[in-house]
Structure 1
C-alpha cells in the first residue's frame, strides 16, 4: 500500500475548506443503510449534545485521492457524511416552515449551496452514486419526499430526512420562548454538528481504497458478503467508469430481483452463497468471500451469470404459467405443467424455507429445453414441495443437512453439460432427489410424521397463507378433487373461537393449547362471517351446514355425533387430517 496522511479536523473544515471540492461515494460502497437506532445515536451525540464539555468525535473519515484535483473518494464515513447533509437540509426546511423565508433562511440556503452542493449547483460537495443519486439531489435541492421510491436505500434516506424534521419540530414546539430564542436553538444544533471533531485520513493511491475497504472486514467491521463481493467485482472488472457503472446497475438489479421474490430469509447474501455452492464445494457464509476471491478468474462473466439466474428466478416466482412455459422454452407444452411449477413455488414460499433454492438455481441455469422438459421439472419440484412440507413444516427439522443434499445434487447436475447427457439429466431429475433423501435418511418415518402432524399448531394471524395451503390440500383430497378449491377463494375460520364466551365449556388451559390446532380450523368460501365467530357451537354449526366443502360436511357429522366441541373432538379431527396428509404429501407420489 502507498502512503497516507492523517489530520484532525471538524465537519465544518470538510465543508468549508477549498482543499476539498468534492467527496465522491464510490460504486463499491454499500447503499445508505442507517435506520432509527443509528439516527437516534447521531442526534444525541452530535446534534443534541447533552453532555456539556465532552469531546464529541465523529470518528475517522477515510478518503482516497482521485484523478480529479481536490476530489476524494470516500472509503469509510459515507453514512455519516450523507446523514450530515440530510440533517442540514431538514433544518433549512423546518426553518422555512416555522419562520418563513426570512433573511436567516436565505443565509442557510446560501450555506447549503456553498457547502453541501459545492462551489456551484452542478457539483455536489458529497456526490453519491447509483440508485441513491437522484433521490439525494431531489432532497437536497427541494426537500422533496413525495416521490415513491422502490429501493431500500432511497427509502432510508427519506426516513432520515423525515426523522430529523420531526426532531427539529419537536425541539421548536418544546421551546416556549419567542421566535428569536427558537431560532438560536436551531442554529445551535447546526453549530453543534459542524463543530464535531473527526480524523481525516487521506490515502495517496486510489487503488488502495479497495484494499482498505476489504480490510475493515478483517477488523470486525460489519460488512456483509454482498458488501465485500460488490467491492471485489468493481475492483477486478477492468474498464472505463461507464463499464463499471453498467456492472453496478446489473448488481443493483440482482438485489432488487432477490428482494421482490419475497422468499423468507432468502437475502442477497443467501443468493450469493447458493449460487456458489451449486457448482462448488459446500461452505458456510464466513468462508465464502475468500473462496470466491481465490477461485474466480472472470468477474464480468460471474456477474452476468448471476444476473441471468436472478432473472430466471423472477420469471419462475412472479410470472404467469404461460410466461413460465415460454421462458423455459416450451411454448408447445401443456400449460398444466407450468401451472404445477407455479403452484409448487408458491407453496414453498409460504413454508418459510429456502434450502431448495440451491436446487432451483441449478435448474434455472440448465433451463434449455434440450436438457429439461417442463413435465420433468414440474414433477421434480412437486417432490421437493412435498418433502419440504414433511421435513420443515411438520417435523421442524434443521436445514443444514438438506442444504448439503441439494448442493450435492446441483454439483452433479452442473457436470452434465453436453446434449449427450440428456438421458442422465432426466434420470437425475426423476430419481435424484428421492435417491438422496433415502441415502441421507432425511425423510422422517411415517409414524413420526403422523405424530408430529397431530401436534401441529399454527396461528392463522402469523401463518395465514400456510394454513390456507394445508387446509385446501386436505379439502381437495377429501373431495377426491371433484369440486376443487383454491386458496384464493377461502377464508380461515376458528371452530372454537379465539375468545371464549359463556357458551363454551372448556378450561383456559385446554383453550390455549387447542385453539390454533389444525383440528380446530376450517375454511369457508367467500368472506369470513365475523358475526358468528364467537358464537356457541350449536349456533356456529349452521354456517358449516351451508358450506359445500367436504371438510365442513365431515365437521358437521362429527359435531352431531359428539354433541360437543372441545379438546377431544379437536384432537380426533386433527388425527384424521394427519392420516390423510400422509398420502397428500407422499414424496414419491406421481
Structure 2
C-alpha cells in the first residue's frame, strides 16, 4: 500500500481503470451526491481533503487480451490496467463531475492551463487515429449495460455498437448524478469552474492499495463494500456466484473449463436482466432486496427445514427466513458457499448446473415480478391489467409472492381473472377489519402453490370464503359503522383508494375517457406544502359565518361526525390553496372568473359543485350515494337507506327531509 496520499491527477497518470463484472454498478443517490458536493464546495482553496482508499486489482493479461480497444494503450504507451475493487462510487462521481465541467467549458478556454482536449485525454479517452478508435481511461467491462450508457449518455460520445442502450437502476443513477452536477454549476463563471476542477483533480487525495495476487479479490470486495452505502443482498449474491464459478477446477479431461466460463457469463446476463427490470419504471424503482426475498421463498422454502413451531402449526415457517434477513444468511452462509464446491467429502456438493439453474430462475422471475408492479408493461389481458392496477393501489406487499407464483405457473386466464377480482375484494375489506383475515397467509399459499402442494382452486376458494364469511358476520356492519367514529372516514387507510375507485366510476358514466385524477399524484401527501388530496367540504375549522345556519343546531360531537363523514369528503385533482378549504361553499365551488374550485376539478368535485348549498342533509345524501357505490362495486348489501344512515352514524338527522339520490 502506498504510504503517500495521491491526487486524482496522479491516479490517472498512465493508468487504465475498469469496473469488473462482480462489482455492482453506480449506486449513489441524492444523499451521497450531496455529501460529495459539500466536501468539495466547503473545501478552502489550496486545502486538501482525504477521500478514502482506492483498492485496485492489477488486471491480468488473460483479461486484458479481450480489451481490443485498449491493447494499444497498454502495450505501446505502457498504461497499467486495473480493476477497481473498492472506491468505484467516488471515482465514478469524480469523473462525471469532470465531464460536466468540460461540457460547460467553452472552446478555447483552459482549466489550470490545460485545454479541454488535454483534460479529455487524461480522464476520458485517448485516440490513436484521429478519433476513430478510442480507449476510455475509466469505464466498465464491455458486457455491462453501464459501459454503453457511460459512453453515450455521460461522455456524449458515439458508440460503435448498433444495439439499443439498455437502462437499469445503475444507469438511472449515472444520469441522475450528471443532472445533479449540471444543476449545481449551471451559473458558474469560468473562474469558478476552474477552482472546482482544481479541487477535484488536485485536492481530493486517495490512498491507493493494490491487492496481491495471493489475496482472494472476491472476498475482499464483499468485505470492503460493507462500508459506505452497503451492498444490497442481490449485489452480494451476484459477487458470491461469480466467485463460486471460479472454484470449479478443470480436471485432466478439461471438464468444467468451458462450463465455468459459460456460468460466469450466464450469471452476468441474468443479473443484467434483473437490474434492467427492477429499474425499468423510473418513477417506481423496485427494491432489489424485496425481490430477492420473494424469489428465495419460492425457490427454496419448499425444501427448507421447518421450525418446531412451524411443524406444530403445519406451516412452512417462512418468518424464520424473513425476519432479520434470515434468507440472506441461508443463501450466503449455508447454500452458496465455497465449501460446497471445493470440499470433496461434503455430502451435498454444489454443482455448476445448480448455480446455472438458480441464476436462470432469477432472470425468469424478475420479468414476471416487474409486470406485477407494472401491468401496463405486460401483454396481459385488459381485465387482468385493471385488477392488478387496483391491487397495486392497495399496496399490500404480502400478495406479491402469490401473484408472482401465479404468473410463473400461468393457470387458465379465466381462473386468474376470477382470483384477481376475489383478491382485490378481500384486500379492500381487510382495510376495514384486518383481524378477521389473519388466518389467510397469502405468502405461504404462494409457496405451496409454486411447489404443487396446494391447487390454485383451493387458494381462490379460501380467499373467497374468508371474504364472504366476514361480510355475513355481525362484525361487518359494526366495522363499517366504526369507520364513522373518532377520526371518521378521513382516517380510514383505504379512503384514497375508495375515492379513486368512485372517481373511475363517475368517469365511466361520461362520454369521455379522459382521466381528471392521477393516482400517482392523488396518493401522495406532501405536508411541506399546502396540498391536501382529500378535502373536507364542510371544513374542519368552519369559522366563516356561512356555515353557522345549517350546522349550528347540532351539537359539537354531531358536527364532528358530519365533518369526517364519508359524504363530506372529496378528492382534489390539483393542489389548491389550503385557505380555500375554510371558505364558504360558494367559494369552494369556484367561478368562471377564478377558474379555481370544484367546478374545474375531477369528476367527483364536479358532482359536488352541482349542489346549490352544502348542509348536513347533503352530507347524508352523498354518503348514501357512496355506500350505494360500495354495494355495487364490492358486492355487499347494507339494507335500506335507514340502515345505511345508521351505519354512517347520522341517525340524528331529520329523517323526514329527503334529498334526491341517483338510482343504483
Give the structure-1-normalised TM-score.
0.70
Q: Which residue of 2 aligns with 1:304?
A: 360
Alignment of 1:274-293 (within 5 A): 274-279=294-299, 280=301, 281-282=317-318, 283-284=321-322, 286-293=325-332
Give 1:261 deviation, angstroms.
6.3
For the Cα contact (< 8 Å) 2:232–2:288, is it kept in 1? Answer: no
Q: Distance in 1 between matches of 2:512 and 2:500?
A: 6
Deviations 1:344-363 (A, max 9, x none): 21111111222211111111
Do residues 585 (structure 1) and 615 (structure 2) align? no
Q: Distance in 2 between matches of 1:194 and 1:444?
A: 75
Deviations 1:50-91 (A, max 9, x none): 3875x5211111222331373222121111111121222223
Alignment of 1:28-43 (within 5 A): 28-43=22-37
Deviations 1:465-511 (A, max 9, x none): 652214556x79xxxxxx86799556469793889877544699999
Q: Distance in 2 between matches of 1:299 and 1:379?
A: 37
Give 1:193 deviation, angstroms.
3.6
For the Cα contact (< 8 Å) 2:390–2:424, is it kept in 1? Answer: yes
Give 1:35 deviation, angstroms.
3.2
Alignment of 1:478-557 (within 5 A): 489=514, 491=516, 496=537, 503-505=546-548, 518-521=566-569, 536=585
Give 1:427 deviation, angstroms.
3.6
For the Cα contact (< 8 Å) 2:373–2:392, is it kept in 1? Answer: no
Q: Which residue of 2 aligns with 1:332?
A: none
Cα 1:517–1:135 change in 2 (3 A) is farther
Cα 1:189–1:437 change in 2 (3 A) is same
Do residues 64 (structure 1) and 113 (structure 2) align? no
Cα 1:522–1:360 change in 2 (3 A) is same
From 81, 105, 120, the equivalent of 1:112 is: 120
From 276, 283, 287, the equivalent of 1:256 is: 276
Q: Which residue of 2 aligns with 1:457?
A: 490
From 122, 125, 130, the equivalent of 2:137 is: 125
Give 1:164 deviation, angstroms.
3.5
Give the structure-2-normalised TM-score.
0.63
Bigger helix fraction:
1
Deviations 1:328-372 (A, max 9, x none): xxxxxxxxxx444322211111112222111111112211xxxx2
- Structure 2 unaligned residues grouped into runs of 5+: 65-79, 159-163, 247-258, 302-316, 337-349, 518-533, 592-596, 638-664
Q: Which residue of 1 aligns with 2:530?
A: none
Q: Distance in 2 between matches of 1:439 and 1:216?
A: 54
Give 1:40 deviation, angstroms.
3.2
Q: Report the RMSD for the aligned CA atoms in angstroms.
A: 5.3
Q: Which residue of 1 aligns with 2:644?
A: none
Instruction: For CA contacts below 8 A with separation 6 or more, give which structure has more relative contact order.
Output: 1
Q: Which residue of 1 aligns with 2:252?
A: none
Q: Distance in 1 between matches of 2:474 and 2:244?
A: 46
From 269, 275, 278, the equivalent of 2:289 is: 269
Q: Distance in 1 between matches of 2:198 and 2:408?
A: 54
Q: Across the two proteins, how many residue pairs are aligned to each other?
A: 522
Cα 1:439–1:245 change in 2 (3 A) is farther
Cα 1:513–1:139 change in 2 (3 A) is farther
Do residues 375 (structure 1) and 414 (structure 2) align? yes
Do residues 429 (structure 1) and 446 (structure 2) align? no
Q: Which residue of 2 aligns with 1:231?
A: 239
For the Cα contact (< 8 Å) 2:123–2:138, is it kept in 1? Answer: no
Name the SS for the 1:96 alignment partner: coil
- Structure 1 unaligned residues grouped into runs of 5+: 173-178, 325-337, 418-423, 477-482
Q: Which residue of 2 aligns with 1:295?
A: 335
Name the SS for the 1:278 alignment partner: helix
From 210, 221, 227, the equivalent of 1:202 is: 210
Do residues 8 (structure 1) and 48 (structure 2) align? no
From 173, 177, 192, the equivalent of 1:156 is: 173
Cα 1:366–1:165 change in 2 (3 A) is closer
